[in-house]
Amino acid sequence: MTRIAQLLAANKGYAAARANVADARPWRRMAVVTCMDARIDVFAALGLHLGEAHVIRNAGGRVTDDVLRSLALSSQVLGVDTVVVMQHTKCGLAGVTDEELRTLTGADLGFFPIDDHAAALREDIALLAEKSYLSPLKMIAGFIYDVESGEVEDVAVWERPA
Ligand SMILES: [Zn+2]
């Protein structure tokens, strides 16, 4: 069986057993922005279940234009008022430069490398907090997930001033 066929075979069992969630609005009114790293099971790590949160993933879990696009919809259309930005230990974007990543990939892109997790989280939170179109957001937290222990460290929090 090819790896694609394995997915389709697995889906047959899933579709038969799954719970149906009728409402597209995340029940916990939360969105989690995190890295695409295969070692992070976002729902299990944070005690989330189907239908409860938006999960937006990219390399590094950085706040890119596409994350802003998604969060504009999350917050303005789908009721999200809380965002968690979660970076992690041993991330491929930590401790490297844009130049090194351009050489490694052959892609002339901005990769949002991470020099210091706490500083990068504060930078990304500030970026979210300043966007007028994200005004429904009341709270933004910055976490670091440890891929070895599975523990989350709460390193930054922002609350919209009353
Ligand atoms: Zn990563």
Reported as a single tens digit per residue, the pLDDT across 54-79 is: 999 999 999 999 999 999 999 999 99
pLDDT at 1: 84
pLDDT at 162: 86
CATH number of residue 89's parent domain: 3.40.1050.10
Q: Are 80 and 137 within 8 A, CB to CB?
A: yes
Which residue range is the domain that position 79 belongs to? Answer: 20-159
Query: How far is ligand 1, taken at its centre, from the CA of residue 23, in Å?
Result: 30
In a domain, 1, yes or no: no
In a domain, 143, yes or no: yes
Query: How far is ligand 1, taken at its centre, from the CA of residue 37, in Å?
Result: 5
The 3-class SS string of 106-154 reads CCCCCCCCECCHHHHHHHHHHHHHHCHHHCCCCEEEEEEECCCCCCEEE
Reported as a single tens digit per residue, the pLDDT across 79-89 is: 999 999 999 99
Query: How far is ligand 1, taken at its centre, from the CA of residue 111, in Å?
Result: 12
In a domain, 155, yes or no: yes
Query: How far is ligand 1, taken at its centre, from the CA of residue 20, in Å?
Result: 31
Measured between alpha carbons, how far is residue 126 from residues 8, 37, 61, 66 in Å? 41, 24, 15, 16
In a domain, 91, yes or no: yes
Summarize the chain as % helix, strand, coil (round to 5). 35, 20, 40
Residue ranges for the chain with pLDDT beneath 70: none
Query: How far is ligand 1, taken at its centre, from the CA of residue 35, in Å?
Result: 5
Number of domains forming the structure of the chain: 1
In a domain, 14, yes or no: no
In a domain, 3, yes or no: no
pLDDT at 18: 87
Query: How far is ligand 1, taken at its centre, from the CA of residue 49, in Å?
Result: 22
In a domain, 4, yes or no: no
